Structure 1
Amino acid sequence: MKKTFKIIFGLLLILIISIYIGGLFFFTNRYMPRTYINGRDFGLVKKSELKKTYEDLSRNFELEIIAKDKNLNDKIAAKDFGYVDSIGSESIDQTAFYWPVASLVPKHYKVDRDLKFDAEALDEKINKLKPVMGQKDHSQDAKVIYQDGEFKIQDEIHGNFIKMDEFKNSILGHFGDLKEKLDLAEENLYQEPEITKDSEYIKNQLASYKDVYKKKIIFDFDDRKEEVTGQGIIAIYSKADDGTLALDEEKLKHFVERLAAKYDTYRTSRIFNSTGLGLMKVDGGIYGWLTDRKATREKIKEALAKEEPVTIKPAYRQDAVSRKVDDVGKTYIEVDLARQKLWYYKDGALQLETNVVTGNPTKGNGTPTGTDRIWSRERDRYLTGETYRSKVSYWAPINWSGVGLHDASWRSNFGGNIYKSGGSHGCINIPVPVMKNLFPQTFTGMPVIVYNSATQRVNDAGGQVVVGQQPQAQANQGQ
């Protein structure tokens, strides 16, 4: 029995030694199992063929591109763009004496690599890949929409456009690591929406839209009112960083500018119903409503801070006698340069008519036309210029260039064509007794419409508001 055991033990020992020696010779020229060089398995590869085998692995590599739409799956091979991954070392030393144990343990080596490829060919190949050629749907952020009478969140859209720079780098990375599949979705290579339906940003925005949409401002213009609600209110807000709506100062400025452009009458054109001759188009002048932009913006801010609808009147830098469409009203002075006439109306009834002398146009002193206003009323003062100094008893300036209404004691005749040769320096000269009677009827802010019926007459109002009226009572005739 002992002899048999010894024989068996001897045979096993011989077998083990033989296997060891055989392995020793085998692994002298080959790498042991579980040998990894730059992450690649080179177990059992001949040491003399290390460099060639390493390069062949990259030359023959093919990468599968997996898209959302499986019909767009594609492949890219190393040969498509001349990809070669080589190493500088011809071999890596590995002792075979401990091969029985070393074969069971992973052995990792990092060596210098030399990557070579045709960058232009790579770009060309990438642009021809099906996932790239099939790009057609851009991702869209979730957004707040108004639908069926309410605000709601519209879900984001996940498109199929690719992050091209990252895609290219990922391809090269997979070639370097010999990873055979690149899933575009799993590696987050699609351009995704920045805002989703579940983000706090869009939830804040929805709540803010609902709150702002309920606000209402009513602008009171006497015989007209303009309501600004809903989208009109939202239009003067912008989105803050957290998604909420915040009042936008620039948008508010533009809103007030548009409001002023629509309702201001300062220096605008008017269709005036002249005495005896019908409609005249009168441009410019200093009469009318002029919005105070800054003060009006502050009023709007105060109104928007309230929950309930608010009625406000814009703030004005200059007002007029009426805020109605016909802001001239029924009490005013009318002057026709062509007829050299002045008329005074009170509450729609003609109170006074007189001949006048206006500025001399042949000397460049013609009286400017426009819808003006009496902005001051003075007694007993001197009017002076470069060539004159005249004492008047009554003075009522009507524009910013020194033109006004006043008596002219130095004249004995008025009306006709006197103004063409002996006209004033621009003022409207009125007989002394007439001016004495007219002056107490005037007031600061009183409209004075100056026109030239020879050049400003129109046949049709063209839908514009007509101001002025025909005489309703017999007037006193001035001289």
Structure 2
Amino acid sequence: KKVLRRRGKRRRQKKMKENKGKRSKKAWIIGGSIIGGLLVIYLGISAFFISHFYINTTINGKDFSGKTESDVVAYMKDQVEGYSLKIIEADNKTDEINGEAISMTYKKDDSVKDALKNQNPLLWIRALFSKSSAEVTINVDYNEDALSKAIGSIQAVKAEQTEPVSAYPKFDGESFKVEPEVYGSAVDMEILTKKIKEYITNFEPELNLLNEKCYKVPKYTTESKEVQKACDDMNKYCQASITYPMKENVVVDKALISTWVSADADMNVTFNEEAVRAWMRDFGKTYDTVGTTRTITSPTGKTVEVSGGTYGWSIDEEAETQNLIASIKNGEVVTREPAYEKTAASHAAQDWGTTYLEVDLSAQHMWYIVNGAIALETDVVTGLPDAKHATPAGVYSILYTEPDSKLIGEKDPETGKPIYETYVRYWMPFTYQGHGFHDADWQTAFGGSRYQSYGSHGCVNMPVDQAGALFNMLSAGTPVVLHY
């Protein structure tokens, strides 16, 4: 019995193996049939794409998926017939470019055929996952002159062309702020022509000039970082404030500095140093007093005008220009005197102050005024009233004081010797040409009209005692006012 059971078991196992082998073979047959069928289908589709475009193929912007070369050509020819491009302009104005008017025709070439040839039919499945498996552009032909004429007749082109204005830094009285841009009406002919040709080629029905940016646009807008940066840079200069205490305070602050800074078309900020220099020249003309006409009232009550001379305020314009430029660039807030070549006692109308020498050349009399009061006065003898010897009128200052001095005149051309050599006890010059106050013991009288006959070579002759008294009171730099 045991032997019989073992034999039965082996027979069952053998039968099971035979059945399993039959099922496996059947599965392989079925699977192979399916794959073969799919392959046939794939190859069939591939064969289709030998003469048809891939899925997702666009030509001149139109979908030609699964279409033939003939379909494309037929479409193009059909589009040419009756084609027109509507031009939509600003303010809802419209124009039209008619295909017939520009002799528009389909320009047949091999681009469609080449695009079809470039397709690998066996790789058609990849086109299912690509939005632009083939981008083909077909040209149309038209009369260039006719198109140019049509473009020139567009209302936006014929209208007055107002150029756009970029946003720019503008001073509002307090600081530079961005002034908004202005959009004009000027057409960008290069972009317009390009877009019209592109739209015609693609058989587009409408061209919106605003949407396609066919109008000239400002280079910079309120959103441009370059404009804001320019404002910031210009405002740094305007932080400075320099006050000059003259007759009244003269202030160089943002109101003036703002006129000296500018931004060019590329928003590069420039500080105009030449403008500062020009302003300083005017500043000097206003407040320099050397040689200007001033008024003096003598102790006698006589009021006269006096001009000329070397005394007064004189600004060192170049030095102060550099000082001012540096202060502005450093953003300084400061009050200071300008750099001077020459200074005076006061910024008042009588800039010689209240201590000075006054000589009335007509009255032949002089005064030494100290702190507004007469400290000394005396009759004098001044220069002979001729072109060579007259004592110069004007405002000067005592250059120095020197005791026991030898005065030497110019040389006589015939003898080669000085025309005079005179010793004086007290010498107080006020010009480098040899004019000054000194004692003159050779004069037998002073004042009156004596100078007309016995006048000096230009000096102010004084009695010895008065010259000595003045010498002991006087110091270098004291203003001297001489007038008629």
Match of 2:91 in 1: 69
Give the letter for the 2:479 counterpart: P
Match of 2:241 in 1: 216
Is contact 2:163-2:216 (8 Å) kept? no
Structure 1 416/185 Cα, relative in aligned 2: closer, same or farther at 3 Å?
same
Secondary structure at the counterpart of residue 414 of structure 1: coil
The correspondence of residues 23-34 of structure 1 with structure 2, limited to 5 A, is 32-34=70-72
Is contact 1:360-1:366 (8 Å) kept? yes
Secondary structure at the counterpart of residue 280 of structure 1: strand
How big is the shift at 1:145?
4.4
- In the alignment, the residues of structure 1 paired with residue 147 and residue 294 of structure 2 have an alpha-carbon distance, to the nearest angstrom, of 72
Secondary structure at the counterpart of residue 436 of structure 1: helix
- Structure 2 residues not aligned, in runs of 5+: 1-68, 120-133, 413-418
Q: Aligned to 2:145, which of 117, 120, 130?
A: 117
Structure 1 350/158 Cα, relative in aligned 2: closer, same or farther at 3 Å?
same
How big is the shift at 1:288?
0.9
Q: Aligned to 2:76, which of 37, 41, 61?
A: 41
Structure 1 349/184 Cα, relative in aligned 2: closer, same or farther at 3 Å?
same
Q: Does residue 204 of structure 1 match 2:239?
A: no
Secondary structure at the counterpart of residue 295 of structure 1: helix
- In the alignment, the residues of structure 2 paired with residue 63 and residue 443 of structure 1 have an alpha-carbon distance, to the nearest angstrom, of 97
Is contact 1:145-1:154 (8 Å) kept? no
Match of 1:4 in 2: none
Match of 1:333 in 2: 357
Is contact 2:346-2:352 (8 Å) kept? yes
Q: What does the per-residue CA deviation read over 1:120-171, in whole Å, with 9 as the maximum and x for residues that have no partner?
A: 9779746xx2454255574342434437x67643332222223356656766
Match of 1:289 in 2: 313
Q: Does residue 395 of structure 1 match 2:427?
A: yes
Match of 2:345 in 1: 321
Secondary structure at the counterpart of residue 470 of structure 2: helix
How big is the shift at 1:198?
1.8
Count of paired positions: 395
Match of 1:460 in 2: none
Is contact 1:291-1:316 (8 Å) kept? yes
The correspondence of residues 327-476 of structure 1 with structure 2, limited to 5 A, is 327-379=351-403, 380-387=405-412, 388-393=419-424, 394-399=426-431, 401-452=433-484
Larger Rg: 2
Is contact 2:168-2:179 (8 Å) kept? yes
- In the alignment, the residues of structure 1 paired with residue 452 and residue 210 of structure 2 have an alpha-carbon distance, to the nearest angstrom, of 88
Structure 1 233/333 Cα, relative in aligned 2: closer, same or farther at 3 Å?
same
Structure 1 338/76 Cα, relative in aligned 2: closer, same or farther at 3 Å?
farther
- In the alignment, the residues of structure 2 paired with residue 300 and residue 346 of structure 1 have an alpha-carbon distance, to the nearest angstrom, of 37
Match of 2:18 in 1: none
Structure 1 stretch 269-278 or stretch 394-403: which is displaced more? 394-403
Match of 2:324 in 1: 300
Structure 1 363/283 Cα, relative in aligned 2: closer, same or farther at 3 Å?
closer
- In the alignment, the residues of structure 1 paired with residue 259 and residue 471 of structure 2 have an alpha-carbon distance, to the nearest angstrom, of 50
Match of 1:467 in 2: none
Q: Does residue 273 of structure 1 match 2:288?
A: no
Is contact 2:166-2:181 (8 Å) kept? yes
Q: What does the per-residue CA deviation read over 1:76-123, in whole Å, with 9 as the maximum and x for residues that have no partner?
A: 66899xx66899x9999x99xx9xx9xxxx999999989563899779
Q: What does the per-residue CA deviation read over 1:334-367, in whole Å, with 9 as the maximum and x for residues that have no partner?
A: 1222222222111111122223333334445433
- In the alignment, the residues of structure 1 paired with residue 150 and residue 290 of structure 2 have an alpha-carbon distance, to the nearest angstrom, of 68
Secondary structure at the counterpart of residue 471 of structure 2: helix
How big is the shift at 1:272?
1.6
Q: Which of 1 and 2 has higher RCO (CA within 8 Å, sep 6+)?
A: 1
- Structure 1 residues not aligned, in runs of 5+: 1-30, 46-55, 453-479
Between the two proteins, what is the percent identity of the paired residues?
A: 26
Match of 1:8 in 2: none
Using the size of structure 2 for normalisation, the TM-score is 0.65
Is contact 2:397-2:477 (8 Å) kept? yes
Is contact 1:299-1:312 (8 Å) kept? no
- In the alignment, the residues of structure 2 paired with residue 124 and residue 206 of structure 1 have an alpha-carbon distance, to the nearest angstrom, of 40
The correspondence of residues 58-207 of structure 1 with structure 2, limited to 5 A, is 64-70=86-92, 72-75=93-96, 117=145, 125=153, 129-130=155-156, 132-133=158-159, 135=161, 138-146=164-172, 152-163=177-188, 167=192, 181-207=206-232
- Root-mean-square deviation (Å): 4.7
